[in-house]
Chain A
């Protein structure tokens, strides 16, 4: 029964709606503006907490990400869907993850946050979403042309456990070295004392919502990239209805919480350079399409045993290190000094991958 429900249209709609309620609530409970949930930003903050980059304003071990992976792991075991698998071009997935992050940080958000920014009245998100769709559309052209990364193989159970264990390790570190008010370091972990990195919902609330989303999204296969890809490729609206539900419900929730502030200027953690909001997300969308899932979906797949998705996640975290160490990431003032160059290089790399990896599998 439960299994059937989550595979149905109402299943995916209710999961989108759940995220649409709880993401704005997480913002109310302390997360940054229009960033109740942002997979790219939160993985970037995790990279900061570990010291992989030293951008002082974005360092925090985000429990939502930990919850996503562990929630998916729990759901996969409860429903006997844990399938350890790996070996489908992991290095390609790593590189795609890194450039997906770089593109997302030029826009300042993953597809999830793009939807939440829209639902919060940040019209700059429209250019990001158009770019996302454009990137995914390019990805579907490659898919139609026979692009694929080859088959994964069944493997040891412990392979599937590695990313969940890493996340568990992060949680332990967080409990061992909790944030100390006004200090930028606790034990080995870095924290922010100003900027978005200092804004966060209480640990256990964030972790709880993360776990719930992880469980629900694993069951329903919620994917913001797949939503547009399936629409373009098969005229299928299943996943798309989940994303629409997210935006509509998040918009209503924002209205109720008085978090809806329409406009272009002075939006939280956003800039107004429309062209680069667009192109940054073209890069991210293309990378997600070539890797077969949005950043959230990659976390859920990693939780259910997909070692290749786990490599994509690690690629994103490393990409965040590059993005801030090389000044590629944007800020409210606009794109970083080398952001444009990085986006162009990323697009060239994605095209190289798309054009050259079309081995027939059938």
Chain B
């Protein structure tokens, strides 16, 4: 079971802040992040990459996106 961040409906910079918090907490593994705007999708992907995580996939989830990031 991967960790999850639900950032739907939150405005900048909350989605990135929540993602960063989670990254600091779990250090490695997989995290699923739910966002509902393209801006958040880009910002979260950019932030995860900058922390050495890989964006494994972005899937449509309802009207938003589910971003899977991972670090070994």
Interface residues of A (CB under 8 A from B): 7, 79, 81, 83, 85, 88, 143, 148-154, 221, 223, 226, 229-230, 233-234, 236, 238, 292-293, 306, 308, 361-362
Pick the residue among B6, B9, B36, B42 that contacts A362 (CB under 8 A): B6
B46 touches A143 (CB 8 A): no
User: What distance in Å separates the Cβ of B8 from its nearest Cβ neighbour in chain A?
Assistant: 7
A221 touches B39 (CB 8 A): yes
Pick the residue among B9, B17, B18, B38 that contacts A233 (CB under 8 A): B17
Closest A residue by C-beta to B47: A234
Which A residues are CB-close (under 8 A) to B8? 151
Which A residues are CB-close (under 8 A) to B13? 143, 226, 229-230, 233-234, 292
Interface residues of B (CB under 8 A from A): 5-6, 8-14, 16-18, 20, 36-39, 42-43, 46-47, 50, 63
A85 to B6: give the CA distance in the assembly, Å: 17
Which A residues are CB-close (under 8 A) to B39? 221
Closest A residue by C-beta to B43: A221
Which A residues are CB-close (under 8 A) to B36? 83, 85, 154
A240 to B24: give the CA distance in the assembly, Å: 24
Contacts A7-B42, A151-B8, A221-B42 known; A362 to B37 CB distance under 8 Å? no
A343 to B51: give the CA distance in the assembly, Å: 39
User: What distance in Å separates the Cβ of B51 from its nearest Cβ neighbour in chain A?
Assistant: 10
Which B residues are CB-close (under 8 A) to A229? 13
B17 touches A143 (CB 8 A): yes
A148 touches B14 (CB 8 A): yes
Pick the residue among A81, A293, A361 that contacts B10 (CB under 8 A): A361
Pick the residue among A151, A154, A362 that contacts B5 (CB under 8 A): A362
Pick the residue among B6, B20, B46 that contacts A238 (CB under 8 A): B46
User: What distance in Å separates the Cβ of A100 from its nearest Cβ neighbour in chain B?
Assistant: 15
Pick the residue among B10, B47, B50 that contacts A148 (CB under 8 A): B10
Contacts A7-B42, A81-B38 known; A308 to B20 CB distance under 8 Å? no
Which A residues are CB-close (under 8 A) to B42? 7, 221
Which A residues are CB-close (under 8 A) to B63? 83, 154
A81 touches B37 (CB 8 A): yes
Which B residues are CB-close (under 8 A) to A149? 11
User: What distance in Å separates the Cβ of B63 from its nearest Cβ neighbour in chain A?
Assistant: 6
A239 to B18: give the CA distance in the assembly, Å: 19
A226 to B13: give the CA distance in the assembly, Å: 8
B12 touches A236 (CB 8 A): no
Pick the residue among B9, B37, B50 that contacts A236 (CB under 8 A): B50
A226 touches B12 (CB 8 A): yes
